Structure 1
Amino acid sequence: MIARRTAVTNDLLADDGYVQKADSIGDPLQKINAVVDFAALAQAVEEIAPRPEQPKGGRPPYPTEVMVRVLVVKRLHGLSDEQTEFQLLDRRSFRRFCGLEHSRNIPDRTTIWNFENRIGVEGVTALFNELDRQIRAHGLEARAGQIVDATLVPAPKQHFTRVEKEVLEQDAMPAGWKPAKRRQKDVDASWTKKHGKSYHGYKCTVSVDRKHKFIRTWVADTASVHDSQHLEAALDEWNTSAEIYADKGYVGGEREERLREQGYRPKIQRKAKPGKALSACQERRNRRIAKVRARVEHVFAAIHQWGGKQIRTIGQARATFAAGMMVVVYNMRRLAFLGA
């Protein structure tokens, strides 16, 4: 009996030692936890999608703050609902971050799925807005201009016959399809080409503030929509500088004139016309803009590095939700990096 107690004590001491060692190395989740007010995030979600009442005798639903933290873990590590459940069971650092370290129950895949459906796009927008408020409260205001650009968000590829495509374009269900099959088919995602390579999925247009590299606004759409269609919608009206930086995909005389009338100073790279090369002055201007505009590529590279772009959902609504969480988690990581 004494030997067993000694062994248990040693295991507990070893476990605590592992936690202290991990903290000394630097747990990214704890860095986020130190700068983000998750209680306020949960309150913002509650105002949009209140926590449902539990029938008598049933297990009470997990607190909204716990579930928001679970979504952060999921997106931060590019996990599916099933993998998120497993990792919560397997990794103490995940449970500690989510407030589940001493809990006997862990949210399963269905609970995670239901929570996402409960809060929807309005919920993730509330998370983004509240986090943006916290970022500004830290004194990280957008005051040096903004950079607008779009990134492709790959989605699982769909395969349709020519006849099926024609039927789907008419908003009908192809013959022989059962409702269960239709639910597994993403008819919202589309194809586009970039640098001669085909991509399937969605697109997320963002406005990044030049100084701090936070994403200040975002707009999600299907991949085939041209980047330029969302420039005005993605502008951050709170940026105190009038400068807007963008690549040649956003060029347009009428657009630039309209932006100037609104008080902006567009810094959009020039695009050569067929048979007419850019002048030396235009080339120099493009290079000056490129040096600033490159900062948005740093943002996309950071998201790509931790697998944040990949989505496993079906349909525009869920893709928009996933894109929103991608933006929220990026801003959390950025805030932790700056150590506000």
Structure 2
Amino acid sequence: MITPGSALKFDLFAEASRKRKIDEAGDPLQTIAQHIDFAELAVLVDGIVGRADARKGGRPAYPTEVMVRVLVLKRLYNLSDEQMEYQLLDRLSYQRFCLLQDAMNIPDRNTIWRFAQRIGVDGATALFQGVDAQLQRHGYIARGGQAIDATLVPAPRQHIGKEDKERLAQGKTSDWNEAKRRQKDLDATHTKKHGKSHFGYKLSVSVDIKHRFIRKIATGTASERDGHHFDAVLDEDNTGRDVYADKAYPSKCRQEMLKALGWRDGMQRRASKDKPLSECQKRRNRKIASKRAKVEHVFAGIRHLGGKFIRTIGQARADVAMTLMAACYNIKRLAMFLHKGVDPFYKNTTA
């Protein structure tokens, strides 16, 4: 019970007062909304997947810009569709970011899910490329060389019986019903790293050394070698010629390829059973480590976006999730750079 004379006060303009206080405190979502052109990103998505045909009847579609903002927000905080629906109903900052503060209706979980399915890999790739175009427009071109690496992206572990595993290994189909089959991820794979077992997918990236933006990406499964997508993520637009990578990447063929293309080999060397590293090679590895670590900073930044865990089933949906993961990292970092006024040509970019 609220007693008379308490500090709690009621006012018809309480909502406006709270909005003002949020702005004064600094809403990070409004910083992103201020500096990222979501209308431009929505046009790119519509150009790839088109708009739903309203002539077929049914409820009119939400504006693409609204849904792109919802999808970005969902990935920024790694929320499920159900959680995203609830937060849109509950949080003022989420409503403002998604242009829904005065809307009578809010996208529900099914609408959010269907939009993600509709844009698919092509739409997600268009978003990633659209963000990259905005990076270029603001002067943040790829400079200083590049660091290439891959990170494991965990997915929900599957509980498959021994008999079903044997049948699947033989290329046969299981006797699961349709509902159960939809919940089984048969694309994700297992791998071991540092003595720990992992299940899921793998995201390979090229990161520019100067600004630490993700410039190229490739996706695969957890069991693929880190160097499997090296050629796919090598960024030919980087103005620097140094290519840094850890000990999982060097090979004689790759070293010759980089030399032929005019790139400088910055891959760390690894020892073999009968041939330990020389002192010169060890010093070289240590020198490369500080440059190569730039990509680890990026992976740490992705973990801060609610973690790398994805809730999808199947390679295609995982590709969408990982592509959006990279796009949202760049969105958040670009907004921070522009908010702080980071000069793209400043000698030492430490942000």
Q: Compute the TM-score of the two structures, normalised by the length of structure 2.
A: 0.91
* Matched residue SS, 1:113: helix
Q: Which residue of 1 aligns with 2:156?
A: 156
Task: Give the Å deviation of 1:240.
Answer: 1.4
Task: Give the Å deviation of 1:308.
Answer: 3.7
Q: For residues 207-244 of structure 1, give each alpha carbon's deviation from its aligned partner in whole angstroms, at most 9, with x where no partner exists.
A: 00001000001111110000011111111121111110
CA contact (8 A) 2:143 2:211 kept: no
Q: Which residue of 2 aligns with 1:315?
A: 314
CA contact (8 A) 2:75 2:305 kept: no
Task: Give the Å deviation of 1:34.
Answer: 1.4
Cα RMSD after superposing both structures: 1.4
CA distance in 2 between partners of 1:107 and 1:23 (Å):
25
The answer to whether structure 1 residue 108 and structure 2 residue 108 are counterparts is yes
CA distance in 2 between partners of 1:145 and 1:254 (Å):
21
Task: Give the Å deviation of 1:166.
Answer: 2.6
CA distance in 2 between partners of 1:205 and 1:187 (Å):
21
Q: Aligned partner of 1:38: which letter?
A: F
Q: For residues 259-316 of structure 1, give each alpha carbon's deviation from its aligned partner in whole angstroms, at most 9, with x where no partner exists.
A: 2112211200010111432111111100110011111111111111232411011000
Task: Give the Å deviation of 1:319.
Answer: 0.4
* Matched residue SS, 1:220: strand
Q: Aligned partner of 1:67: which letter?
A: M
The answer to whether structure 1 residue 255 and structure 2 residue 254 are counterparts is yes
Q: Which residue of 1 aligns with 2:17?
A: 17
Q: How does 1:106-145 map to 2 (within 5 A)?
A: 106-145=106-145
CA distance in 1 between partners of 2:210 and 2:284 (Å):
20
CA distance in 2 between partners of 1:24 and 1:334 (Å):
22
Question: Which stretch shows the higher mean deviation, 303-312 or 70-79?
Answer: 303-312
Q: How does 1:218-233 map to 2 (within 5 A)?
A: 218-233=217-232
Q: Which residue of 2 aligns with 1:65?
A: 65
Question: Which stretch shows the higher mean deviation, 254-263 or 139-148?
Answer: 254-263
- Number of aligned residues: 331
CA distance in 1 between partners of 2:76 and 2:61 (Å):
23
Q: Which residue of 2 aligns with 1:299?
A: 298
Which is richer in helix?
Answer: 1
CA distance in 2 between partners of 1:17 and 1:289 (Å):
52
CA distance in 2 between partners of 1:57 and 1:275 (Å):
71
Q: Which residue of 2 aligns with 1:200?
A: 199
Any unmatched runs of 5+ in structure 1? Answer: 1-8
* Matched residue SS, 1:185: coil
CA distance in 1 between partners of 2:100 and 2:208 (Å):
35
Q: Which residue of 2 aligns with 1:330?
A: 329
Q: For residues 55-103 of structure 1, give each alpha carbon's deviation from its aligned partner in whole angstroms, at most 9, with x where no partner exists.
A: 4663210010000000011011110000000000000110111011100
Any unmatched runs of 5+ in structure 2? Answer: 1-8, 342-351
* Matched residue SS, 1:250: coil
Q: Aligned partner of 1:248: which letter?
A: K
Q: Which residue of 2 aligns with 1:39?
A: 39
CA distance in 2 between partners of 1:104 and 1:172 (Å):
50
* Matched residue SS, 2:149: strand
Distance of aligned partners of 1:149 and 1:12 in 2 relative to their CA distance in 1, 3 Å threshold: farther
CA distance in 1 between partners of 2:182 and 2:11 (Å):
48
CA distance in 1 between partners of 2:171 and 2:60 (Å):
40
CA distance in 2 between partners of 1:87 and 1:12 (Å):
24
The answer to whether structure 1 residue 27 and structure 2 residue 27 are counterparts is yes
CA contact (8 A) 1:135 1:141 kept: yes
Question: Which stretch shows the higher mean deviation, 12-21 or 42-51?
Answer: 12-21
CA contact (8 A) 1:203 1:222 kept: yes
Task: Give the Å deviation of 1:29.
Answer: 0.9
Task: Give the Å deviation of 1:10.
Answer: 5.0
Q: Compute the TM-score of the two structures, normalised by the length of structure 1.
A: 0.94
CA distance in 1 between partners of 2:30 and 2:71 (Å):
15
* Matched residue SS, 2:311: coil
The answer to whether structure 1 residue 280 and structure 2 residue 279 are counterparts is yes
Task: Give the Å deviation of 1:194.
Answer: 0.9
Q: How does 1:231-246 map to 2 (within 5 A)?
A: 231-246=230-245
Identity among equivalent positions (%) equals 56
CA distance in 2 between partners of 1:122 and 1:283 (Å):
43
CA contact (8 A) 1:143 1:240 kept: yes
